[in-house]
Amino acid sequence: MTESATTSWRAGRVPAPLPAALPALLVLLALLLVVAAAAPARAHARLVGSDPAAGSAVSRSPESVTLTFDGPVKQQFTSIAVSGADGVSYSDGTPGALNDDVEQKVKALPSGEIVVTWRTVAADGAPLQGRYTFTNTDPAAPAVSPAPSSPTTGTTAGGTPSPRGGGAGATDPAGNGDAPLPALWLVGGAALVAVLALLGVLLVRSVRRP
């Protein structure tokens, strides 16, 4: 083949069409990335119930507070502070766990609003925290005076400061404080970049194919 013929052939060459399976492969990859990004969020345990229930009124002072999660949590990293309007923590000892339930024994609670502030770590290592309230209407419960305003801490029955804030969980009706949306956005952005990069590589290869 002469040089002029070769030049003419190269100038008139039509790029090879994209593989027919390319769109299906890209869709499959995108679905896998979306599932992989969403799986960690679903794996985090969440608070699904409590006894006494959030926002409820009890006519008899409870002897314990129980939190129920939809997955296992690490007992050694779990703390539950049960406080009255006086800012005193009435938690008695450390929480005990049974399956997906965590129970915190309490001392005799005062009347009025009771605040439950909890922190724990899910089995997958995700930190969780939350806060909710219920009302003790037991006529035999002692009345207490509201505690002075304090930005971060209260006082336990033994004089030890205890956490009062609930973080993000303070505004969550279920008392959950785990919502790592920024992390999910980052994962989604990385997935999009990966799909676009793969598409670019396949396009370049199809154009260069003789």
Which has more pLDDT, 89 or 185? Answer: 89
pLDDT greater than 80 at residue 193: no
Is 2.60.40.1220 the CATH classification of the domain at 46-177? yes
Q: Are strands 161-163 and 79-83 parallel, antiparallel or unpaired?
A: unpaired
The H or E element spanning position 106 is none
Instruction: Please tell me the predicted confidence (pLDDT) of residue 17.
Output: 56
Q: Which residues pair with 134 in a beta bridge?
A: 114
Q: Reduced to 3 states, what is the DSSP secondary structure of residue 184? A: helix
Instruction: Please tell me the predicted confidence (pLDDT) of residue 197.
Output: 72
Domain spans in the chain, listed from the N-terminal domain onward: 17-44+179-210, 46-177
| Residue pair 167/120 in contact by the 8 Å Cβ criterion | no
Instruction: Please tell me the predicted confidence (pLDDT) of residue 3.
Output: 56
pLDDT greater than 50 at residue 29: yes
Percent of the chain having pLDDT more than 70? 51
Instruction: Please tell me the predicted confidence (pLDDT) of residue 210.
Output: 58
| Cβ burial, residue 138 (10 Å; 0-12/13-18/19+) | middle
Confidence of residue 43 (pLDDT cuts 50, 70, 90): low
| Residue pair 114/67 in contact by the 8 Å Cβ criterion | no
Confidence of residue 128 (pLDDT cuts 50, 70, 90): very high
pLDDT in tens, 88-121: 999 999 999 888 999 999 999 999 999 999 999 9
pTM of the shown model: 0.57
User: Where is average pLDDT lowest: 14-18, 67-71, 133-137, 202-206?
Assistant: 14-18
Summary mean pLDDT of the chain: 74
Kindly report the CA angle at 29 between 194 and 43, in degrees rounded to 5?
A: 95
Instruction: Please tell me the predicted confidence (pLDDT) of residue 148.
Output: 77
**Residue 27: φ, ψ to 5°:** -65, -40
